[in-house]
Amino acid sequence: MDNPDQLRDQLLAEIGDAADLDALERVRVEALGRSGRITGLMKALGQAAPEERRERGQALNALKDAVAAAIETRKAALEDAALDARLAVESVDVTLPVRPEAEGRIHPISQTIDEMVAIFCEMGFSVAEGPHIETDFNNFTALNIPPEHPARQEHDTFYLPEKEDGSRLVLRTHTSPVQIRTMIDMAPPIRIIVPGRTFRADYDATHSPMFHQIEGLVVDETTHMGHLKGCLIDFCAAFFGVDDLPTRFRPSFFPFTEPSAEMDIGCTREGGGLTIGAGADWLEILGCGMVHPKVLENCGIDPARYQGFAFGLGIERAAMLKYGIPDLRTFYESDLRWLKHYGFVPLDVPTVAGGL
Ligand code: DAH
């Protein structure tokens, strides 16, 4: 029968010699496995004489514990060594670019906002923002849309529950209330654009209950309709990338501008697709006008001294026209295949989408 002391010395030597985790496992099975040598000795204990059994049992238990502990210690040392070896050969170059397939895409709405902001900022505009939940005053009344005005019905407004004083907050139906906030807060000269979310209770292929607009406002002592036209013609030419983009201004009506106009850009639908900048057709692109004197007055600006122009356009519509996106609803479906197709690879420049 094996002598426990000899066996211990032999196993400890084998454990010390085990060069890797596989070799160590082989020693463990040889010693402590089901038909291992220590296991065999323990099984044989039953046949030993009763007076011998106790002493030998203790010796075998001590042997088993010593071998198990040595295996654990060796195992930890081998694992550390394996990790050190891996760390020595493997290194991560954090300066490598991200693999293209793992890179996200800029959503076409964010991209379009960035493009528009870049064009207007170059002209000297700053970006202003306002809350999505607005007062009835900022969204309607101050914009010369008093209660009972028919324009209120056209907006399909989402109202919040009535407050105790009977007033109701609204989800802003356009970005125009930010004109009011800006004119109340700051004195002219004012030159702002306001990209942001807007809300109306409407849903089909060209309407969504949440959509985006960009608003513009310029107020100064000498601002006139020529500035409005020059600014918007230059903007559309830059945005659509067509230098001599045909444009026209049609008389229109908005309660907050006088005179008011809608701007169209030239296009053709020949050949099935839509081509912007050529042909005999027209596409409506935005609403605009000279700020109504009553609106200036509502914000504490003297209309005898100051004049302004304003405009508003739908960002989804502009993106659909520029990038050939057929259905408005797809903007919000979060379909990654769609985003891969219509999205944009991020550029290494500060953008509104990237938080500047
Ligand atoms: N607020 C208008 C709308 O949502 C768009 C608009 C038209 C804004 C003319 C303006 C403007 O600032 O002058 O339909």
Q: Which of 89, 122, 140 is the last residue of a domain?
A: 89
Residue 152: predicted pLDDT: 79
Summarize pLDDT for 99-129 with one digit per residue, the tens: 766 678 999 999 999 999 999 999 999 999 9
Q: Which amino acid, residue 318?
A: A
For residue 95, is it within any domain? no
Ligand 1 neighbourhood includes 312 CB (under 6 angstroms):
yes
Q: Let me know whether 310 and 270 are in one domain.
A: yes
pLDDT at 345: 86
C-alpha to C-alpha distances, 96 to 61, 87, 92, 106, 346, nearest whole angstrom: 56, 19, 9, 21, 16
- CATH number (domain holding residue 219): 3.30.930.10
Burial of 320 per CB tally in 10 Å (0-12, 13-18, 19+): buried
Check whether residue 194 and residue 49 sit in a common domain: no
pLDDT of residue 219: 98
Structural Rg of the chain based on CA atoms: 38
Nearest CA to ligand 1 atom 7: 287
Structural domain boundaries, residue 65: 4-89
Question: In the prediction, which pLDDT does 93 show?
Answer: 87
Q: At what angle do helices 108-122 and 315-323 cross, to 10 degrees?
A: 100
pLDDT tens digits along 173-198: 999 999 999 999 999 999 999 999 99
Q: Are residues 171 and 241 in the same domain?
A: yes
Residue 10 lies in a domain: yes
Residue 211 sits in the same domain as residue 270? yes
Q: What is the mean pLDDT of residues 314-335?
A: 93
Calculate mean pLDDT across residues 88-97: 88
Can you read off the two tokens belonging to residue 238?
């830059």
Mean pLDDT of 36-49: 88
Distance from the alpha carbon of residue 144 to the mean position of ligand 1, in angstroms: 12
Q: What pLDDT digit, counting tens, does each position of 198-240 carry?
A: 999 988 878 899 999 999 999 999 999 999 999 999 999 999 9
Residue 354 lies in a domain: no
Within 8 A by CB and 6+ apart from 130, the residues are: 138, 172, 175, 177, 178, 181, 194, 196
- Within this chain, do residues 216 and 318 fall inside the same structural domain, yes or no? yes
Structure tokens, 322:
């520029």
In a domain, 231, yes or no: yes
For residue 144, the tally of other CB atoms under 10 A from its CB is 20
Q: Identify which of 180, 219, 311, 316 to mutate to test ligand 1's pocket (most ligand atoms within 8 A of the CB).
A: 311
The number of domains in the chain is 2
